[in-house]
A and B are shown apart, each in its own frame.
Chain A
Amino acid sequence: MNATPATADLPAEGSWEELVTLALLGTGRRTPPAWAAGREVPVAVLDAAAVATLRRRAGMRPGRAAARPEPAAPDPRSPLPPAAARRLAALLADRPGSGGGRRGAAPDLMELLPQWLALAGARGFAAPAETLPALLDAARGRTDLRPAALAFAGPRALWLARLNPDWRFALRSVPGGGAALPGPDEPERTRQVWEEGLFAERVALLTALRARRPAAARELLATTWGTERAEDRLMFLDSLRSGLGASDEPFLERALTDRSRNVRATAAELLSALPGSALAARMAARAGSCVAVDRTRETPSIVVEAPHECDASMERDGVVPKAPAGRGERSWWLGQLVEAAPLGTWPRRLGGRTPEEIVALPVTDDWRDELHAAWCRAAVRQRDPGWSRALLGAPSAPEAGGPGAVSLAERSKLLATLAPTERADWVAGFIATHGLSEAFQLLGVCAVPWAGPLGRAVVDALDIARNAGSYPWSFSGVMGLAERCLDPLEAGRLEALTAIPDETEHAAPGAGGYWAEAFQRLVTTLRLRADMTAELSPPESGRASTTP
């Protein structure tokens, strides 16, 4: 220890250093020191060393204090209720791989951690200090957990991260590396961070400023735009996505002439999401000239005349001229024009029809899939629920389940533009008709906990799958989702499904037992989630405190 040995009065037998040297070399090779005369020298050295050792230990004094760390910033949030703190410790202790093997009927606690963190964060609780190392480790191992874990961990976790290189990621992941961002009334500091800060700090500053004052963020970006590196320009431009408005148009128009193709494409994409922009109008005109209603036919049909060339002005507006391998150039250009044109163009252009009526129109010459796919991308980009609804169609329609013009991935994006209830109802209808095998992606965009009809549709479909005699692991994806997303209130209804059914002829061997186990796990997990939620109820509405 870096303590000061008591060296004031040395033993008569010599200094400690002398003893160590003597012992190291061996008394056989040295002339015995005067004090050892008349005794067996090695024993005399051991005697002296024993005395000296005890003196050194007994005389030990503390060392000098190093510079003490700056205290962590205070965390004003309220402390976790004790039961919730224990739950958090249990969730954090359940590392992946710790159980090993088949999951059995026990819930997977690690999967519940994201939900727990979101809930605790939303209810304004502070993380208990002693859990911060485990929280940081969890955030380090799982990037999906990182934002929620770091937000919940709070300022003290960043203080801790500065002391441990393993946790440096936390400083990068959090806006400004934990140092408070300049406020709205600090133009000088804002400018300084923008001009001298690290890239991550600048992105954080721009994002934060954009959320508060969109115009100020854009103006700040404009001050250095010309001198930024291309990949940085792309990242900065991306931050304009939030709070995008008509006043951003002039800046984005200028970015259309950027040296970097990616920057140009992003600027065009942003402009096309502004239905009133000049670019949107230009694209509307181009797309409109390609699509029309042919009234001469028996039933009115859409006729498509894809562009014959991609001229310089189209390219300037973000149209990528070179088609990917295997795609025709003309359909490639058409797709981009329709995708970028404001959806409001079409009812005017196509005889005052509603989106539903337009989608229902036949399309000549096999252009239907191309056209509908482009409209889907436009509906997603412009977040247009009316068009999304029309393009999704009825959930019970036969083509809703199969590979049609609109893939399941596309469908889930369209669903995301609808209100949560409508989304849940559509997916419930889809599952009721088409079963679960295609529903996974669609379930992923539904709000948690699942609305009543959706939850019931999923449970009914699982029950049907069980009765059909398949194994539960064919549905493990949906089962896992259900554990995280089903409303805990459904636990009671599920109870009947946890019994082991009698084996029927057509059932797979042993499937009944596995299903019972899977449903047990589902019920247990739902109960656990209900407990978690109750434990996290705010102190004022909670029951009497359990601490004595």
Chain B
Amino acid sequence: MTQQGVRWTADQVLALAPDPASGRAGSKLGTAGSWSHTGSSDEGTLWGLCRGSGSTPYQTVVDIADPTGPACTCSCPSRKFPCKHALGLLLLWAGEDGAVPRGPLPDWAERWREGRRERAAASRTTGAASGTASPADPEAARRRAERRAARITAGAGELERRLADLLRGGLAAAEQAGYGMWEETAARMVDAQAPGLAARVRELGAIPASGAGWPVRLLEECALLHLLDQGWLRRESLPDGLAATVRSRVGLPGSASGPALRDSWLVLAQHDTADSRLTTRRIWLYGTGSGRTVRLLSYGPAGRAPELALPVGLAFEAEMSVYPGTGRLRAALGERFTLPAPTRTRPPGVSTPVAAARYGEALRDDPWLDSFPVTLSRVIPTPDGDSWQLADAEGDFALPLTAAALAGPGLWRLAAVSGGAPVTVFGECGHRGFTPLTAWPEGAGEAVPLC
């Protein structure tokens, strides 16, 4: 993919920021006053000197022609990636004509770029080598897979016994048992190499403290965990799709094996969740030709943004391959043919009863699904006591917003965009309610991210 000559928008640049503070710091550096000796090459490398607090200016280089996303380096001490200087340089290049003129690469920029390209070439070769090496010993791989399956089977059996004990003693006792019991069970599932089961067990532990109605929720989740155990134990007799879903839910890694799907993909939403170790980014895409909605997952270590960044409301042409199982929602990004560009396309929407039905249907392929991506059209955000709902502009139906949606700042952006008028809202619809992620105002108007 070649990128020279294509100017980015400021939004595209800011979507790369690892956190809001870096974006703000970068914005301040995106003016000519901060820079000297800036330049860009025909191959898509940008460079410049940025004056910091020290006497030596920082040397910043960004390679935007890298097919895996922009790469950069900077002599500043920041451990963020990209640092504010790289963001500032990109903004300067994106914003002002002539601020980053074409010119020959200075030595220091050239050295970094060459080093990087050599390393990239080397890793491609080794990657290819290991790619050819693995099928060389299919027997060993099969034995490894069998050993792991046996461990998971043992884990699932143990979990079944624990669930049965819980039911025998009564859920009321679980309130007193506290979190420790669940932690220990979760650790057993980690040992059994079933991270999916472990995560579900950990969530069970939090339910007794989750407020009114917890016994119902605990029974539901125990029952679904039991269903997953049973699914694993009898996976041989399940239809292929459901078996793949069970494997993926238990925590076995899959690979995007579906056929490549080329389409123009509209970015519906991008939202990050972070814990102490990992930032997880979920990007929802809508294929305007195929009508498919898929989700990309991207991870970054704590404090760093995942490398993949796609601004909401833009569309780009690319190939996706879908992972098996879990409703075939997860995809991997294949080759990209164009850079994300503004579009007037909006996803087609449905009414609230259809959205609820979509979720219900999706449970057939994945009974463990908490929510399903859906776009609502002509809904009005409506206060409902202490809560809010999305009410159909025509008709009497409404979906309540989830507790998470009520707590975030997105609720008020949604209300502001609507102003009491119908809006189009993309989000996740599930048994806990609707989580709005992106809104489009009535009439023309750009997508407004809510997360």
A residues bordering B, Cβ < 8 Å?
A: 1-3, 19-20, 23-29, 40-43, 45-47, 49-50, 52-54, 56-72, 86, 90, 93-94, 98-99, 102, 104-107, 109, 129-133, 156, 159-160, 163-164, 491, 498, 500, 513, 517, 520, 523-524, 527-528, 531, 547-548
Question: Which B residues touch A70, using CB under 8 A?
Answer: 420
The reply to whether B389 and A26 contact each other, CB–CB distance below 8 Å, is no
Complex Cα gap A345–B181 (Å): 93
The reply to whether B24 and A98 contact each other, CB–CB distance below 8 Å, is yes
Complex Cα gap A49–B164 (Å): 13
Least CB distance from B20 to A in Å reads: 7
Chain B: number of interface residues, binned into ranges:
35 or more
Q: Beyond A53-B220, A59-B360, is A23–B215 a contact (Cβ under 8 Å)? A: yes
Question: Which B residues touch A94, using CB under 8 A?
Answer: 24
Q: Interface 1/0s, chain B 141-164, versus A by CB < 8 A?
A: 000000000000000000010011
Q: Which of B24, B353, B420 contacts A159 (CB 8 A)?
A: B420
Q: Beyond A2-B400, A29-B170, A528-B31, is A68–B420 a contact (Cβ under 8 Å)? A: yes
Complex Cα gap A496–B419 (Å): 50
Complex Cα gap A92–B164 (Å): 55
Does B222 count as interface, using CB distance less than 8 angstroms?
yes
Question: Which A residues touch B52, using CB under 8 A?
Answer: 104-105
Q: Interface 1/0s, chain B 20-37, versus A by CB < 8 A?
A: 110111011101111000
Q: Which of B171, B416, B419 contacts A24 (CB 8 A)?
A: B171
Question: Which A residues touch B395, using CB under 8 A?
Answer: 65
Least CB distance from B372 to A in Å reads: 11
Q: Beyond A68-B380, A528-B31, is A99–B25 a contact (Cβ under 8 Å)? A: yes
Complex Cα gap A57–B164 (Å): 23
The reply to whether B168 and A42 contact each other, CB–CB distance below 8 Å, is yes
Complex Cα gap A269–B40 (Å): 68
Question: Which B residues touch A23, using CB under 8 A?
Answer: 167, 170-171, 215, 219, 222
**30 A-B contacts (beta carbon < 8 Å):** A29-B170, A49-B222, A49-B223, A53-B219, A54-B224, A57-B431, A63-B397, A65-B395, A65-B397, A66-B384, A66-B385, A66-B391, A66-B398, A68-B380, A71-B420, A90-B24, A93-B20, A93-B23, A94-B24, A99-B25, A102-B53, A109-B28, A129-B416, A130-B417, A131-B416, A133-B416, A160-B412, A520-B51, A527-B31, A527-B33
The residue among B52, B167, B398 with the most chain A CB atoms within 10 A of its own CB is: B167
Question: Which B residues touch A29, using CB under 8 A?
Answer: 170
Complex Cα gap A60–B151 (Å): 37
Question: Which B residues touch A159, using CB under 8 A?
Answer: 419-420
The reply to whether B416 and A53 contact each other, CB–CB distance below 8 Å, is no
Q: Beyond A26-B173, A45-B167, A104-B52, is A129–B31 a contact (Cβ under 8 Å)? A: no
Question: Which A residues touch B27, using CB under 8 A?
Answer: 90, 109
Q: Which of A58, A62, A130 contacts B416 (CB 8 A)?
A: A130
Question: Which A residues touch B20, using CB under 8 A?
Answer: 93
Least CB distance from B9 to A in Å reads: 9
Question: Which B residues touch A24, using CB under 8 A?
Answer: 170-172, 215, 219
Complex Cα gap A104–B219 (Å): 57
The reply to whether B419 and A156 contact each other, CB–CB distance below 8 Å, is yes
The reply to whether B431 and A65 contact each other, CB–CB distance below 8 Å, is no
Question: Which A residues touch B416, using CB under 8 A?
Answer: 129-133, 156, 160
The reply to whether A60 and B360 contact each other, CB–CB distance below 8 Å, is yes
